[in-house]
Amino acid sequence: MTSTADVEDNLQTALSLTEQAIEDGASLVVLPECFAYLGPEEGKFAIAEELPKGGPILDRCRTLARARNAELVLGGFYEKTPDPKRVRNACVHIDAAGNVKSVYRKIHLFDVDLPDGTSLRESAGVEAGSEVVVTDTAFGKLGLTVCYDVRFPELYRALVDKGAIAITVPAAFTLTTGKDHWHVLLRARAIESQCYVIAAAQFGKHFGTRVSYGHALICDPWGTIVAECSDGPGYAIASIDHAVIERIRTALPSLRHRKL
């Protein structure tokens, strides 16, 4: 999806796509980073909500999960902090009963100056998290990460050590880095972790010079892309197959061969 500063329009798009995915058989739906708002920095402070209590944004997502008996992962949710000028970039797992099951706060913050002139300082308004989070879903243990985390493989090792068989990477990956690194990094994390990787994504122009790469996708533990979105709004859907995980981890037991 292409989120902007229009929160209501973003939510309508996100929840409509979620409904479509559920109609298509999805029992768990992952929304991208910044799904409710991707606009000028000051706007995110006004819409941030306390967790797990929530507010209007979280309530609408919880209501949908409960009504459709489906789990949701809100890929990048602005969580209120005591500082009115800082939020947390949270990844929120809602179970099929509409309860907040787990919350991961993004550990690695994106502070870069890109060749196209884009300058991003996530740490200026975001408080980093520190906890590695694995949550229980209907299909098994799901590791939670967000966007820039994908460049830090040690986090994914820690998630595997906590039992993850699939890992989320909801993102608003820039076009500049995404066109060269998105597929490579996601496939690498899947291969080395021997987990499914579920990567929801922002796509297109949001505001100013901010443009996201898109290509939401799902990788299997062999690193094969089993579903991928083309340009524009849509969703990728695939099954988490425990037999595939077991076969790959048995045939190539690299996780058991670790020395460090």
Query: CA 46 to CA 80: how far, in whole Å?
Result: 9
Is 54 inside any structural domain? yes
Is 91 inside any structural domain? yes
Q: Helix (H, G, I), strand (E, B), or coil: what is residue 6?
A: coil
| pLDDT at 123 (0 to 100) | 86
Q: Tell me which residue of 140, 137, 191 sits closest to 163, measured CA to CA.
A: 140
Range of the domain at 87: 7-257
Is 196 inside any structural domain? yes
| pLDDT at 177 (0 to 100) | 92
* 225: β partners: 219
Is 237 inside any structural domain? yes
Q: What's the sign of the alpha-carbon dihedral 77, 43, 129, 222?
A: positive
Query: CA 39 to CA 27: how far, in whole Å?
Result: 30
**Strand bridging mode 111-113 / 119-121:** antiparallel
**Helix pair 7-23, 56-68: axis angle to 10 deg:** 10
Rg (CA), the chain: 17
Query: CA 182 to CA 220: how far, in whole Å?
Result: 15
Residue 133: left if φ>0, alpha if ψ -120 to 50, beta else—which one?
beta
Is 105 inside any structural domain? yes
Query: Model confidence over 135-160: pLDDT tens digits?
Result: 999 999 999 999 999 999 999 999 99
33 is catalytic: yes
50 is catalytic: no
Q: Tell me which residue of 196, 235, 202 sits closest to 25, measured CA to CA.
A: 235
Residue of 106, 195, 219, 229 marked catalytic: 106
| pLDDT at 209 (0 to 100) | 86
Instruction: Count how many domains the chain has.
Output: 1
Residue of 34, 61, 91, 147 marked catalytic: 147
Is 218 inside any structural domain? yes
Half-sphere exposure of 96 (CA within 13 A, CB side): 11
Is 149 inside any structural domain? yes
Q: Which residue has the tokens 């520190």?
A: 130
**Helix pair 153-161, 175-193: axis angle to 10 deg:** 30
- The dihedral over CA atoms of 217, 182, 112, 102, expressed in degrees to the nearest 10, equals 30
Q: Tell me which residue of 59, 39, 41, 40 sits closest to 49, measured CA to CA.
A: 59
Query: Model confidence over 99-117: pLDDT tens digits?
Result: 999 999 999 998 888 777 7
Query: CA 95 to CA 97: how far, in whole Å?
Result: 5
| pLDDT at 120 (0 to 100) | 75
What 8-state DSSP symbol labels residue 10? H
41 is catalytic: no
Is 157 inside any structural domain? yes
Residue pair 225/218 in contact (Cβ under 8 Å)? The answer is yes
The CATH number that applies at residue 192 is: 3.60.110.10
pLDDT tens, position by position, for the chain (260 residues)? Answer: 999 999 999 999 999 999 999 999 999 999 999 999 999 989 999 999 999 999 999 999 999 999 999 999 999 999 999 999 999 999 999 999 999 999 999 999 988 887 777 777 888 899 999 999 999 999 999 999 999 999 999 999 999 999 999 999 999 999 999 999 999 999 999 999 999 999 999 999 999 888 999 999 999 999 999 999 999 999 999 999 999 999 999 999 999 999 98
